[in-house]
Each structure stands twice: as structure tokens, then as C-alpha cells.
């Protein structure tokens, strides 16, 4: 497999910041350019791992029966549920009007 060395430029970092609607200082632009390129270099190291005999997997750990059975239990009484409510009206929580 041919190694492609793609580097992120400061201009691309500025574009990403523009897309994210954030302002970066010159120091931050330089820092992020360096960090993005470091991440890309690490991906190149990962690409060198021989995986041609490794079957694809969808889960790192074999998960079975991850859902528990529903157990019916008594719920809170209305009085207990409303005990700490700052505003209540006729047995219900009262909230601000939303327009």
C-alpha cells in the first residue's frame, strides 16, 4: 500500500475554525495545525498494521443479553413526587409558560 502524506495547512485550520464559527489566535492556529498533523501521522502508523487476516468485527466485546427484564415496582406517590417542587398546582408540577 502506498503511503500518502497529507498535511493540514494553517489555511485549512482557519477554514475549519470559520466553519465552526470560532475565532482562533495565531498561536492557537499554529497549535491546532501541529496537533492535526500529529493525529494524521498516528493514522499512518495504524495503517501499517497488518490486518489482512483479521476478520471485521462490529463489537470489541461480544455482548449478549444486555437488556434487563422490566420489573414492575411501585412508583412514588404524588405527594412524594411533588414534595420538593418549587411550584405546583392542583397536584401537578407547574412550569413557566412556553410560547
User: pLDDT class for 55, splitting at 50, 70, 90?
Assistant: confident
Q: What is the pLDDT of residue 4?
A: 58
Domain contains 52:
no
Residue with more model confidence, 58 or 3:
58
CB atoms within 10 A of CB 37: 16
Residues 6+ apart with CB under 8 A from 78: 91
> Measured in whole angstroms, how far is the alpha carbon of residue 97 from the centre of its chain?
32
CB 27 within 8 A of CB 2: no
**Which residue is listed with cell 444486555?**
66
pLDDT in tens, 81-91: 999 999 999 99
Residue with more model confidence, 8 or 4:
8
Domain contains 43:
yes
- On average, the pLDDT of the chain sits at 89
Domain count, the chain: 1
Write out the residue range of the structural domain in which residue 42 sits. Answer: 10-47
Domain with residue 41: its CATH number is: 1.10.20
Indicate the SS3 state at residue 89.
strand
| Claim: this prediction has a pTM higher than 0.75 | no
Amino acid at each position: 500500500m502506498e503511503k500518502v502524506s497529507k498535511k493540514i495547512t494553517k489555511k485549512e485550520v482557519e477554514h475549519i475554525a470559520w466553519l465552526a464559527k470560532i475565532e482562533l489566535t495565531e498561536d492557537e492556529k499554529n497549535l491546532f495545525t501541529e496537533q492535526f498533523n500529529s493525529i494524521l501521522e498516528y493514522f499512518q502508523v495504524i495503517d501499517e498494521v497488518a490486518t489482512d487476516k483479521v476478520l471485521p468485527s462490529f463489537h470489541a466485546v461480544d455482548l449478549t443479553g444486555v437488556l434487563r427484564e422490566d420489573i414492575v415496582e411501585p412508583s412514588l406517590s404524588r405527594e412524594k413526587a411533588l414534595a420538593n417542587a418549587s411550584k405546583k398546582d392542583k397536584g401537578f408540577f407547574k412550569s413557566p409558560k412556553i410560547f
